[in-house]
Amino acid sequence: MKKTIILVAAIALISMSFVGVKEIIVNKSQAKVTSSAIKWKGYKPTGSHAGTINLLSGDLKMDGKNLKGGSFVADMSSIKDEDGSAKLEGHLKSEDFFEVETYTTSKFEITKSEMVNGKNQITGDLTIKDITKQITFSASVTVSDNSVTLTSETIKINRADFNVKYKSKSFFNDLKDKFVNDEFDLQVTIVSEM
């Protein structure tokens, strides 16, 4: 009799452990690198510069219309200045800034995505020059029959966090007005196929 009661209790306990478990189906979609875009903008007291960086690869992981994860890799050798300055492009690729010969890519890995006030709050790990820092930004995610588009709002990045020292007040205190702002902007659009 005791064995029967223990067996029934065990079956009941096992059955109850499955109640309320929701199956999550995550679909992974590959980024279309030619349709995706990474835009940057940097600032100094006398003005600003802006341009683009090409996406090398990426993916978005979706549960229906909900973003669950993903990542993308940027090709740092593709840094372009929107005004076409080869001198500026070369400088950004040099050891003063992103050391592209050594650090050919940068990447971002989504670790968390949640809806806050109707927008996706995305948290993840950004790696530049082999240094990884956690960042959070807002984005919209649009799902159609055959694609997903993630469009970020402007993301503020502190280059000093990634050991980018050129004319940075975080590393040098005698620059007066000859500095380059530590914060620069990124805006990312990732288009992926379902």
Domain containing 152 — which CATH number? 2.40.128.110
Helical (H) or strand (E) element with 9: helix 2-17
pLDDT at site 28: 81
pTM value is 0.84
pLDDT at site 152: 97
pLDDT at site 1: 52
Number of H helices, E strands in the chain: 2, 10
pLDDT at site 12: 47
pLDDT at site 145: 84
**Domain membership flag for residue 135:** yes
**Domain membership flag for residue 17:** no
pLDDT at site 134: 98
**Domain membership flag for residue 101:** yes
**Domain membership flag for residue 65:** yes
**Domain membership flag for residue 7:** no
> Tens-of-pLDDT digits for all 194 residues of the chain?
555 545 444 454 444 444 444 444 567 889 999 999 999 999 999 999 999 999 999 999 999 889 999 999 999 999 999 999 999 999 999 999 999 999 999 999 999 999 998 889 999 999 999 999 999 999 999 998 889 999 999 999 999 999 999 989 889 888 888 899 999 999 999 999 87
The structural domain count of the chain equals 1
pLDDT at site 26: 61
**Domain membership flag for residue 18:** no
**Domain membership flag for residue 8:** no
Q: Which residue has the tokens 């005004």?
A: 83
Pairing of strands 183-193, 147-152: antiparallel
Q: Which residues contact 101 (CB under 8 A, 6 or more apart)?
A: 93
**Domain membership flag for residue 123:** yes
What's the rounded Cα separation, in Å, for the pair 8 and 37? 59
What's the rounded Cα separation, in Å, for the pair 103 and 94? 10
What domain range includes position 142? Answer: 25-193
